[in-house]
Amino acid sequence: MVDTTVNIDLSGKTALVTGSTQGIGYAIAEGLAGSGARVAVNGRSAEKVDDAVARLRESTGADVLGVAVDVSSAEGVDRLLAELPHVDVLVNNLGIFGAVPASEITDDQWRNYFEVNVLAAVRLIRTYLPGMVERGWGRAIQIASDSAIVIPAEMIHYGVSKTALLAVSRGFAKEAAGTGVTVNSVIAGPTHTAGVEDFVYELVDSSLPWDEAQREFMRLHRPQSLLQRLIEPVEIANMVTYLASPLSSATTGGALRVDGGYVDSILP
């Protein structure tokens, strides 16, 4: 008789989540740790990394370590590899965003967004994918955005960088074809994080209470959302935890949506 129980068990796996001291990254780290993985928390600030590690150890009882390096630079990735040579589950969550009028985005801003949002992920996949392939198992997951498909007029440089990230995932999935390693993207919709709260108040009346500000933001700037609210980080983490597990073995090269129906498409 086939056992159809859904049981996500990542015992014995080491996971790295970039940009994981808060928000979506922290929720993902907590989800992976809660499923038994040994999780490496990453951020640039040693103080924030140490704080996140302590909170995760308390909430999950899992083996959690911290790596305070800037993975948006080649030197930072070299330091990371020295501290964490073996990764089974790579979650490229690090990303920056901000509203800038299209005609005012400078060359340096374009370069910075590609360096942080795209090239950091490329370097880390390039670093850890060969080991995954050699072992015959691994997961590389990129956190993209609905902005990759519905390019926002107020931050096209961010949207374009996330579009590139979808292509990066698809390309590396082909590189890992037939090896037991999967590579996927998660298209996150408008999500409730501290950074997004700041962003919302850049676009709506800053004197409004948060609940009203959120509703006004969704009404004016994200009216196509079927959820009609911001997504909570744990809802993104649930999808990532599934993709990181053996249960997702037939899912690769995909761009899976956790967008609250924001993208007006029946695919993917």
Which residues are designated catalytic?
158
Q: Where are the beta strands (DSSP E) in the chain?
A: 14-17, 38-43, 64-68, 89-92, 138-145, 181-188, 255-258
What DSSP letter does each residue of 66-97 carry, written as one string?
Answer: EEE--TTSHHHHHHHHHH----SEEEE-----
H/E stretch holding 107 reads helix 107-114
For residues 122-159, b (16+ Cβ closer than 10 Å) or e, as one string? bbbbebbbeebbeeebbbbbbbbbbbbbbbbebbbbbb
Q: What angle do CA 65, 130, 33 make, to 5 degrees?
A: 25
- What lies within 8 Å, CB to CB, of 15 at 6+ separation is 29, 32, 37, 38, 39, 40, 87, 88, 89, 90, 91, 244
Other CB atoms closer than 10 Å to residue 266's CB: what's the count? 5
CA distance linking residue 244 with residue 240, whole number of Å: 6
CB 236 within 8 A of CB 191: yes
